[in-house]
Structure 1
């Protein structure tokens, strides 16, 4: 299975296994064991690469001082054979929780001195929390055994730029965050927000050779890692990035270290601290050597998602160099304390991004003073308003503030990105197009109507340093207009037709074709709007230009992704493809390039998964089928097969089309029979619906009664009884016949479905190179091209809808409505006059006639 499927499977099982343990606690156990497996597998790989024999590995112990020293110097630690993760699995029923306790204690003893800061006490949270996994040694043992059996399938070999292990680790962290309530904010920044910040920082640092990045509230470390991955796309050596992290909570601090180590970051490039960022700032030094280890820490980028509006102690910090220039944040809200801390640690050409609540933009008092100073000292570069309910643990809307130590402009870019998201469950989530659009606006530093505006320092001063986004960017939808003249007298207002000016500019002559122009409002000139639009010469030219722009795109996709799959740099390819697509759209009007980018990203997600598999396993992976695992009664069991790369459904639709069509025909006939049941049931009389052959809900027939009754009727028929046409008895016989047919068809469908499933597996395993290549084209390229080629029709359909809405809006005038009302009142009055009744009733009718104005 691919990494998404594997991650999902592990999460589902882990969530069941945690029982009553809180999600934010259980994550420490499963993630700790995954990390231990990683360290064990890494050491085993070192043994194999250095030609250790199995018996030599089994004989290694702490007593072998020279060998252990050699291993520690090269790996950073030593784990004896008895304590390896793979040995725990080999122990089977002999495994015990004491094996884990002994192994974790031994690990702390066997860390190389140069790696102490990376590994020391990294398993303390796991070690002290083992007792929470059960009330007794046996229950703890069972819980741990289940855990290690669950995670043993995670592959730790081969390293893509966004590897399987790293993906699963972040996936689990995000899922635990989604289930951890308010605790989630302590350790996780949603991946999409992290990616938005990462791409902005990466663009700023893209020309640097050596880079230092810092997160002073690092949580699980995912934000810092994502920044590093985005930066790495622009540089030749990703090992030239150095990571600094500080985290207050010890268990979360351990997650930071584990996460960075498992992403393949060199230990020498990891510098972490467990401490209170606001109270224990760098400069950093070792207690035993303060002079030689002194490091005031100035970095190229700082990224952070600190706790929002947290109380802090500003006492005696007036002279703290972090705050002295700008002011002290109020003790009830540390938001600006975190911001100023981040800013202080920037190099002269550095950049920082920080997530904060909206209040920092407009709150008064000390925060206003700090905000004024930041603006006057020219540090605030951009502000991005995010959608509400996007973070775990809080529904509030937040912002990303971008600051630089030095800038060559004094305006501030203000962006309202709050409208761009999709709903996923109960949370809102940034889409790929939202991220791309925002990053482009920031990096190109441009204004965009209803989205972004460059605001001068003078305008901000006039607003008394209030940076509230709606003061500068109006992203609200335009209110609907109604023209009183056209409502009363008819016709379509000129100014509302002019609102569609982008279409008239793109399609010269179309406006004149659709509307009759006069002295006043216009009228529609055609009966069939769609036909008039789609057959207009300028529209036809637009569609042809669009097609010609993408004539060579299919070849590009085929050459790069399929023929050249081995050399594709997956992390960069989507950007290269989007640049190509954007270039092809150059000069084509009306196309929203960010909508197109979303189409690309929707398809790219699946393409990238497949490319990772092919690059790791080779093209032969297209000919592999894996067990399809499903959960039944809380146990995982196999239910058929699934293609590792090529979906069974695609093979059946193409290479096994006749067999597949035959099965679909059977399914269609079963569906048709069920429809006939509904028709018969709907046509029954009320008396017939009271029959014993119909269930209490009156929505289905009882098969046992139908079969029994049909037998009686058939016997009577043989004796000469004539069944009346359209009688209930005739319907019973028809239903019985349909039920027999349905039963036979379902049996046939089940049998032939199994046969087709098995045949599909055989076909996949025997695919020729050309067939596999064609199937990849059908899976990767065809859907993307279909999405792109649907764009012109979508644009034209939108125009047709708008023109049709305009015509309908003013189709009926108020005077016509008034005439209709009068006619209706007159007709109603005439009918009322014919009514008879008591004097009491007639008096009421007379009053009603008076209200209608009818005599």
Structure 2
């Protein structure tokens, strides 16, 4: 399984196992055990690198003070052999919950003094919550044993570019968040929002050699980690990024520490604190010498997703240096208190991003005063309006504010990104193209019609510092209007044709070919088939040719960028490299939305990235590996895993068959097509039978299927009768049964042949994959990775032409029937109705009513 499949399987099993335990609580158990496994496996891996034998590892105990001290100095902790995760697995049915309690207690005792801040109390939530896994020791043991067996398959080596552990950990956190309702916001920022903020922050700090980043409400730590990951793409040494995190809730704070540690970040680069961001700021000091060791915290980047509109106590805070310059947030809403805290901790060249509710842009009172001070002091750089219903547990509109400590300009970029998202169930989700467009707009500080605008400070001042996004950016689609003259007399308004200006600019002479141009404000079509005339126009053909030419070298370029470098390329950076190559080719071509092209790339990139991770981790031979295809089936009321054939670890069987076994595949498909035809024909015959016919033994009790044996038997008798008395009427029951018998017999033969041929082809394909040459692997990977991407990109020009023709045809149709035409049709219908009424006969009262109706119709 790849990491996505493994993560999904673990989540599905964990969700079933949690029974009645709330998702928000259960996450602490499974994530806690994953972290313990990580520390345990890491210790064993370290011991092996130090030439410890298996016997040496089995001998690890607290009694060997020298070894304990050696491991603690290198890892920051020590775990005896009896408490290793692998030991729990080896014990099988002898494992007991008491061993977990003993192990966690021992861990707390054996932390190195220099790593107390990082590890102390990290398992407290897990340790104190074990009792919730069952009301008896036996039930707790069973629940923990199931968890241990579930997570034992997660690889913990954290190989660069194939971070399975990190992926699974964040996947589980996101899934628990999706199931935790309102409590989800306490510990998780959706991955897509994290990526967006990460791209903006990373671009700002990318030139620095050493970077400090801070999340003042860190939750699970995923936002901080995504930023670190984005920054690392621009740096040679990941060890030059230092992570600072603060979190109020203890169990969530423990998630932060676990998440940071498991991503392989050096312990010295992790500085965390369990504290109240608004009350205590950041008193980072050595408890033994608080005065001399106090270290005020100033950072290159600060991010946060604080609880929205939380109550706080502003009393006696007016002297706090974080708030003194700008003012105090109201006690009912701490949004600006969090913002000012983050801003205070920025270095002069630093940048911050904070997620807040939309109301902070326009609410008055104390918040209005703070907003004015931020604008007047040129701290506010960018406002990004996000889609609604994008965060777990809340559907309110949210924004991202980007601020700087020092700026050279005073304008504010306002981006309305609220319309760009994909609907997923009840929630909305930013797509890769949405993230790319927002990040490019923010980084480039560009104005895009109905999307973004650079607003001068003078305009903000004139609006009394109200930053409500619709005041500055109108992202709404223009409402459809109807031209009065054209509605009455026909013709197409030039004003509505002019709305397609982008197309007329791309094809300057096309409009004159399609529509009359006599100087009047209304035109008429010159051709009957607008779509055909458009496609045959020389400028449209030239446009398609230009696109083909721009991408003529794209496949060869991708071979070099992907296939030739597959084992050494940097996977996260490669998608950006390919996107730039696409954007460069699209630059001379108008009409095509480059972000649409980027979404196509990203959709294809996700499976490509998985393949690349496997190849870089396992080597080129992984392309020739065939694995058992394991499926879950029910047997005796229980789900069991069984093997159903084989599957390529990277190369799909169907792809290999299309390439190397065309004849066999074509023969098999032909039989399958014939089988489908027979099935449809049998269904048609069955539907044509009367209920009386279906009561015969030839049809099952449900009346939806023929009984093969009974049909064959009756058909035999009917054929014998036909020899004596002649043929039956083709529409008779007898003729239909004879025909059904023939098809059922053919169906039986086909099914047997298909089964045999499919099995033979399956095994032949397995052998082919295992024996592929290097050149053949490259050819298949090109067919899997490059060809589908290129083919979908090649459809982009046609999609634009289709869009134009649809709009033109809709415009012609809109004014084709005038109001006068409708009025005449109505008048004629009313006249016809009057004539029909005169022919009616009824009682006295109905006739009176009909007379009045005729009078009304006659008036119209």
Scaled to the shorter chain, the TM-score interval is over 0.9
Relative to structure 1, the CA distance from residue 636 to residue 176 in structure 2 (aligned partners, 3 Å threshold; closer, same or farther) is: farther
Partner of 1:483: 483
- Equivalents in 1 of 2:813, 2:589: separation in Å? 30
Deviations 1:88-125 (A, max 9, x none): 11122222222222222221222222222111121111
Task: Describe the superposition over 1:797-827 as per-residue Cα deviations: whole angstroms up to 9, x where unpaired.
Answer: 1111111111111112222223333444444
Aligned to 2:540: 539
Q: What is residue 790 of structure 2 aligned with on the other side?
A: 785
Task: Give the equivalent residue in structure 2 for 1:655.
Answer: 660
1:676 aligns with 2:681: yes
The 1:250/1:566 distance shift into structure 2, 3 A limit, reads same
Unaligned stretches of 5+ in structure 2? none
Give the Cα–Cα distance (whole angstroms) in 2 for the partners of residues 719 and 28 of structure 1.
81
Determine if contact 2:432/2:602 at 8 Å carries over to the other structure. Answer: yes
Q: Helix, strand or coil: the match of 1:55?
A: helix
How much has 1:526 moved relative to structure 2? 1.1
| Correspondence for 1:354 | 354
Aligned to 1:466: 466
The DSSP-based 3-state class of the residue aligned with 1:602 is: helix
Q: CA deviation at 1:365?
A: 1.6
> More displaced, 626-635 or 692-701?
692-701
Residue number among 805, 808, 812 corresponding to 1:807 in the alignment: 812
CA contact (8 A) 1:621 1:644 kept: yes
1:216 maps to: 216
Map of 2:576 onto structure 1: 575
Q: What's the TM-score once normalised by structure 2's chain length?
A: 0.95
Q: CA deviation at 1:709?
A: 4.8
Q: Residue 670 of structure 2 is aligned with which of 665, 670, 682?
A: 665
Alignment of 1:222-301 (within 5 A): 222-301=222-301
**Aligned mate of 1:770, from 769, 775, 785:** 775
Match of 1:587 in 2: 588
Could you list the per-position Cα deviations for residues 111-157 of structure 1 after superposition, in whole angstroms to 9, with x for gaps in the alignment?
22222211112111112222222222222222222212111111222
- SS at the partner of 2:246? strand
Q: Tell whether the 8 Å contact from 1:446 to 1:452 is kept in structure 2 after alignment.
A: yes
Q: Which moved more, 1:41-50 or 1:697-706?
A: 697-706
Paired residues for 1:413-432 under 5 Å = 413-432=413-432
Please say if 1:153 is aligned against 2:153.
Answer: yes
Alignment of 1:292-691 (within 5 A): 292-520=292-520, 521-633=522-634, 634-684=639-689
Q: Is the 8 A contact 2:730 2:736 kept in 1?
A: no
Partner SS for 1:641? strand
DSSP-derived class of the 2:567 partner? helix
CA distance in 1, matches of 2:633, 2:693: 42
Conserved? CA contact 2:460–2:467, under 8 Å: yes
Checking the alignment, whether the CA contact within 8 Å between 2:40 and 2:84 is kept in structure 1 is yes
C-alpha deviations, 1:601-657, integer Å up to 9, x for none? 111111111111111111111011223333334444433332211112212232222
Q: Secondary structure at the match of 2:77?
A: coil
Quick one: distance in 2 between partners of 1:171 and 1:822? 66
Are the aligned partners of 1:28 and 1:126 in contact in 2 as well (CA < 8 Å)? yes
Q: State how far apart, in whole Å, the 2-side matches of 1:228 and 1:519 are.
A: 61
Secondary structure of the 1:734 match is: helix
Q: Check conservation: 1:622, 1:645, Cα contact below 8 A.
A: yes
The answer as to whether partners of 2:162 and 2:613 remain within 8 angstroms in 1 is no
Q: For the residues of structure 2 that align with 1:159 and 1:87, how far apart are their CA atoms?
A: 24
State the secondary structure of the residue aligned to 2:277: coil
Secondary structure of 1:396's partner? coil
Question: Counterpart in 2 of 1:35?
Answer: 35
* 2: CA distance, partners of 1:717 / 1:759: 48
Compared with structure 1, are the counterparts of its residues 823 and 678 closer, same or farther at alpha carbon in structure 2 (3 Å cutoff)? farther
Contact 1:829/1:854 (<8 A) preserved:
no
Between 633-642 and 695-704, the greater mean CA deviation after superposition: 695-704
1:206 maps to: 206
Distance in 1, Cα, partners of 2:785 & 2:422? 24
CA–CA distance in structure 1, aligned partners of residues 434 and 814 of structure 2: 33
Gap regions ≥5 residues in structure 1: none
User: Partner of 2:122 in structure 1?
Assistant: 122
Q: Secondary structure at the match of 1:628?
A: strand
SS in structure 2 of the partner of residue 568 of structure 1? coil
1:4 corresponds to: 4
Query: Any idea what the Cα deviations from partners look like across 1:156-190, whole Å, max 9, x if unmatched?
Result: 22512461111111011111111111111111000
CA deviation vs aligned residue, 1:252-302 (integer Å, no higher than 9, x gap): 111111111111110000000111111121131121121342111011111
Partner SS for 1:566 = coil
How far apart in 2 are the matches of 1:51 and 1:67?
13
SS in 1 for 2:492: coil
**Distance (Å, rounded) in 2 between the aligned partners of 1:268 and 1:244:** 11
Cα root mean square deviation, aligned: 2.2
Calculate the TM-score normalised by the size of structure 1.
0.96
| Cα distance, 1:709–1:395 mapped onto 2, change above 3 Å | farther
Cα pair 1:160 1:612 within 8 Å, conserved: no
Residue-by-residue CA offset, 1:26-73 (whole Å, 9 max, x unaligned): 111111111111112212221222211111221222222222222221
CA distance in 2, matches of 1:831, 1:837: 13
SS in 1 for 2:382: strand
Say if 1:398 and 1:705 are closer, same or farther in 2 by CA, change over 3 A.
farther
Q: 1:217-269 CA distances to partner (integer Å, 9 max, x unpaired)?
A: 10100000001111111112111111000111111111111111111110000
3-state SS of paired residue (1:627): strand
Give the corresponding residue for 1:94: 94
Is the alpha carbon distance of 1:580 and 1:623 closer, same or farther for their aligned partners in structure 2, counting shifts above 3 Å? same
Q: How far off is 1:75 after superposition?
A: 2.0
2:817 counterpart of 1:820:
no
Cα distance in 2 for partners of 1:248, 1:441 equals 34
Answer with 437-446 or 108-117: which moved more.
Answer: 108-117
Report deviation, 1:698: 6.6
Q: SS of the residue aligned with 1:773?
A: helix
